[in-house]
Chains A and B, each alone.
Chain A
Amino acid sequence: MQFAMFRRVAAIGAVSALTFAGVGAATMSPAYAASSKVSVVHGIPDTPVDVYVNGKKTLDNFKPGDVAGPLTLPEGKYDIALTKPGEAVDKAILKVDDAAVPGGANISLAAHLSADGKPQITPFANDVSKVDAGKARLIVRHTAAAPAVDVRAGGKPAFEGLTNPKEAKADVAAGTVKADVVLAGTDTVAIGPADLNLKEGTATIVYAIGSADAKNLDLVAQTISGLHSAPGGVPSGTGGQAGTGVDTWWYVLAGAGVLLLVGGGARVATARAGRR
Chain B
Amino acid sequence: MTVRNRGALAAMAAGAAALTVAGVVACGSRPAEDVGADEAAALASTTPAPTPTTTASGDPSVPVNAGTLPAAGATVPPVRLRIPPIGVAATVNPVGINQRTDEFEVPPSVDQVGWYRYGPGLEAGTGSVVIAGHVDSADQGKGAFFRLRELDRGDTLTVTGSDGRERPYRVVAREEYAKTGIPLDRYFARDGSPRLTLITCGGPFDAKTRHYRDNIVVTAVPA
Contact = CB atoms under 8 A, between A and B. Distances in A.
A230 B188 contact: yes
A69 B118 contact: no
A220 B118 CA distance: 24
A228 B15 CA distance: 56
A202 B65 CA distance: 17
A218 B20 CA distance: 78
Given A233-B104, A236-B133, A245-B203, A257 B56 contact: no
Interface residues of B, number: 88
Interface of B is mostly: mixed
B58 A58 contact: yes
Contact of B59 (A59, A225, A235, A246): A59
Interface stretch (A24-32, A118-126, A182-190, A192-200): A192-200
Contacts of B137: 237-239
A242 B25 contact: no
A67 B68 CA distance: 9
Contacts of A229: 185
A91 B185 CA distance: 50
A118 to B, nearest CB: 21
Given A174-B118, A228-B190, A241 B136 contact: yes
Contact of B200 (A62, A198, A237, A245): A237
Interface in B92-126: 96-97, 99, 101-104, 106, 116, 118-119
A65 B66 contact: yes
A240 B205 contact: yes
A228 B119 CA distance: 9
B19 interface: yes
Given A201-B118, A257-B19, A264 B9 contact: yes
Given A246-B25, A271-B5, A66 B134 contact: no
B49 interface: no
A134 B118 contact: yes
A88 interface: no
Contacts of B15: 256-264
Given A226-B190, A235-B106, A244-B202, A196 B73 contact: no
Given A242-B135, A258-B15, A264-B10, 10 more contacts: A223-B70, A228-B188, A233-B184, A239-B141, A241-B142, A243-B212, A245-B29, A245-B203, A253-B18, A257-B18
5 contacts: A68-B62, A68-B65, A233-B104, A236-B215, A245-B203
Interface of A: 41-42, 50-51, 56-62, 65-69, 71, 132-134, 174, 176, 194-202, 204, 206-207, 219-223, 225-226, 228-246, 250-251, 253-254, 256-268, 271
Interface of B: 2, 4-5, 7-23, 25-26, 29-31, 55-59, 61-73, 96-97, 99, 101-104, 106, 116, 118-119, 132-138, 140-143, 145-146, 149, 179, 184-185, 187-188, 190-191, 199-205, 207, 210-213, 215
Nearest first, the 9 closest Cβ-Cβ pairs linking A and B are: A245-B204, A260-B15, A243-B205, A257-B18, A239-B136, A237-B201, A60-B58, A264-B12, A134-B97
